[in-house]
Amino acid sequence: MNKNNYSSLSSIVYDFTKPPGTNSDGDIEFYKSYLLPLEGKILEAGVGNGRMSIPLLKYGLSVDGIDISKEMLDIYKYNLDKQKLSGKIINMNLKEYVSDNYYEAIIMPTGSVCMIEEVEDLKIILNNFYKSLSNNGFILIDFIYPTTFKPGSYHKTNIQLDSENSIELNINHKSIDWSKQVAYSTNQYIQFQNGKEIKTEIQNFNLRWYSENEIKMLAEKAGYKSIELIKNYNKKRVLNLNTITLFAKK
C-alpha cells in the first residue's frame, strides 16, 4: 500500500486524465507570467508526467524536473520524447536534493506540497530550495484546501484506456482531522484487460493544508524575503479559497 506516492496504475490514470498542457484552474498561464522573462534554469518539484513542465519547455524555458516516483518519471520521459523535447530528469526525494545557487526559480504547482504531511519535512525542503536558488531567485508553491472534501463520500470512475484496457478508480474520502489539518482518503485502482481483473493498487492519499500565517512563517524562517500570498491565481470571481500560491525571493 502506497502513501502519497504514485505507483504504476495511479501514474497511468493521472497521465490519461491530466496529460501535458492540461490547465488546472488556469495555473499554466499564471506560472507562465512569472517564468517567461527568465533565461536561467527552473526546477519543477513534483514534476509528475510533465503536465506543467512540457508547456514551459515548449515556450523555450529551461526546466529540470524532480520527482520521487520512478513510475511518473518514466511517463514524463515518454511524454518528452513524444514531443521531441529534452529536460533533465531527477529521481530523488526533495529532502535530499540541493543544487547550490543554481536555479532562477523553483516551482511546485497543483498542491504537490500538501502531500508532504510532516511540517518538519517541509521545513527541510524549503531550506533546500533556498540553498538551490540563485541570488534573487524565487519560489512559486501552490497550497490547496479541501473545499470540496466530504468525509464519508465515495466516488467510482471507470477510465477506458483503449479497446482492451481500463482502470476502475474508487475514491473513499474517509475523514478530516481538523487539529492536524489533514484530509484522509484511500484510492483503489483496479486494472482490467478484456474485462478480466489483472492488477490492483491501493493508495493512501493524505493532504495537509496550511493557514496563511503558517505559510508566511515557514517562508520567513527559511530566510525568504518579498513574501506574497496569491489567492486563486488572482481570479477575483472565484469565491471559495481553493489555492494560495506562495511567491518568495532569496
> Tens digit of pLDDT for each residue in 177-236?
999 999 999 999 999 999 999 999 999 999 999 999 999 999 999 999 999 999 999 987
- Give me the pLDDT at residue 168, please: 97
By residue range, what is the domain housing residue 87? 2-145+208-249
Q: What is the CATH number of the domain that holds 63?
A: 3.40.50.150
pLDDT for residue 70 = 95
CATH label of the domain that carries residue 193 = 2.20.25
Residue 148 per-residue DSSP state: T
**pLDDT tens digit sequence for 20-49:** 999 988 999 999 999 998 999 999 999 999
Q: Is the pLDDT of residue 237 over 80?
A: no
Question: For 150, phi and psi rounded to 5 degrees?
Answer: -120, 105
pLDDT at 3 over 60: no
Lookup: cell for 182: 489533514
pLDDT at 156 over 80: yes
Q: Within this chain, do residues 108 and 195 fall inside the same structural domain, yes or no?
A: no
Query: What contacts 178, CB < 8 A, 6 or more positions away?
Result: none
**Are residue 79 and residue 95 in the same domain, yes or no?**
yes
SS (H, E, C) 175-188: EEECCCCEEEEEEE
94 and 111: one domain?
yes
| Maximal C-alpha separation, the chain | 56
Q: Tell me the whole-structure pTM to 2 decimals.
A: 0.93
pLDDT score recorded for residue 240: 77
- The answer, yes or no, to whether residue 93 has pLDDT greater than 80, is yes
CB atoms within 10 A of CB 207: 21
pLDDT of 101:
84
- How much is the pLDDT for 100? 87
Q: How far apart are CA 1 and CA 244, in angstroms?
A: 30
Domain match, 98 and 138 both: yes
Instruction: Say if residue 225 is in the same domain as residue 108.
Output: yes
Question: Does one domain contain both 227 and 184?
Answer: no
- 50 and 121 within one domain: yes
233, three cell numbers? 491565481
87, 33: one domain? yes
Q: Do 186 and 221 sit in the same domain of this protein?
A: no
Same domain, 173 and 216: no
Under 8 Å CB-to-CB from 23, ≥6 apart: which residues? 29
The residue among 164 and 241 whose pLDDT is bigger is 164
* pLDDT of the residue at 2: 47
| Structure confidence at residue 152 (pLDDT) | 94
In the chain the beta strands, taken as DSSP E runs, fall at 2-3, 41-45, 62-67, 89-91, 103-108, 133-144, 154-160, 165-177, 182-193, 196-208, 225-231, 243-249
Q: Determine the pLDDT at residue 248.
A: 98
Cell for 144? Answer: 490547496
